[in-house]
A = this chain, B = another copy of it.
Amino acid sequence: MSTLTPAQMEEALRAVGETRYHHLHPFHEMLHSGACTKDQVRAWALNRYCYQRIIPFKDAAILARMESTELRRIWRQRLIDHDGEIDDHPEGGLRRWLALTDGLGLDRAYVTSMEGALPAVRFACDAYVAFVRERSLLEAIASSLTEMFSPMIIKARVSGMLKHYPFVTPDILRYFQNRLSEAPRDADFALDYVKKHATTPETQSAALRALEFKCSMLWAQLDAIQHVYVNGAPAPGAWAPGVALRDAAA
């Protein structure tokens, strides 16, 4: 591979998203088109809590590796966005995710215990935290570039879920509303960083592989959810419909 220009590098990164981002995953097609049962939506929200949970871990791990005050000032906004403020005013992304699982009738302590989450989902999330700790800062930042692709999926998700599921309201989907403004800001910064610092065939290849890795960890989560909750594969110890619902939702 020869060295790409910054514009070619951006094109190559976008091509990874077009072929590997989880907007292509069949479970998302189901979720957005109204083909999921309420329990399948619950299984998705419950499991994806594992991913929401590790976002501040991975951002803190990236922050902890940044030598530059300027970079750290920018990256810390991600922690503020996800963790919010004391007393939850304003609340952070993690609390907004719990508004979704609350709205679906799932017991909050059960969700945050991750007791019923699928092991494969937890393994994928742990792999992401390990990746940003162990790889270069460039690769860690490049792996965040799935945020370039998230606005398109979020728009389809919010409109599709509001249209098709009577149990979904704009209020319980407020996590996504906030991400529509946060993600492009974060992605613009990370894309500039990667274009500026990936300037050799080796570093460009590493950045592209990092984005592929990130796509694969998102994909693996949906595979696990689909395998168990759509295809009906047995899942020893995992959440089952009827479990950990609040009284009103039972």
Contacts and interface: CB of A to CB of B under 8 A. Distances in A.
A43 to B, nearest CB: 14
A137 to B, nearest CB: 21
A20 B123 CA distance: 17
A217 B213 CA distance: 20
A219 interface: yes
Interface string A105-133: 00000000000001110111011001000
Interface string A187-227: 00000000000000000000000001101110110011011
Nearest to A126: B127
Contact of A124 (B20, B120, B223): B120
A237 B212 CA distance: 9
B226 A119 contact: no
Task: Give the interface size bracket for A toward B.
Answer: 20 to 34
Contact of A26 (B20, B126, B233): B233
A234 interface: yes
Nearest to A20: B236
A121 to B, nearest CB: 9
A69 interface: no
A80 interface: no
Contact of A237 (B118, B216, B228, B237): B216
B130 A119 contact: no
Contacts of A19: 236
A249 B212 CA distance: 30
B119 A220 contact: yes
A2 interface: no
22 contacts: A20-B236, A20-B237, A24-B234, A24-B236, A119-B124, A119-B127, A119-B220, A120-B120, A122-B127, A123-B126, A123-B217, A123-B220, A126-B127, A215-B236, A216-B237, A219-B236, A220-B224, A223-B228, A224-B224, A227-B227, A227-B231, A227-B233
Q: Give the 3 A-B CB pairs with smallest separation, nearest first.
A: A119-B216, A123-B123, A123-B127
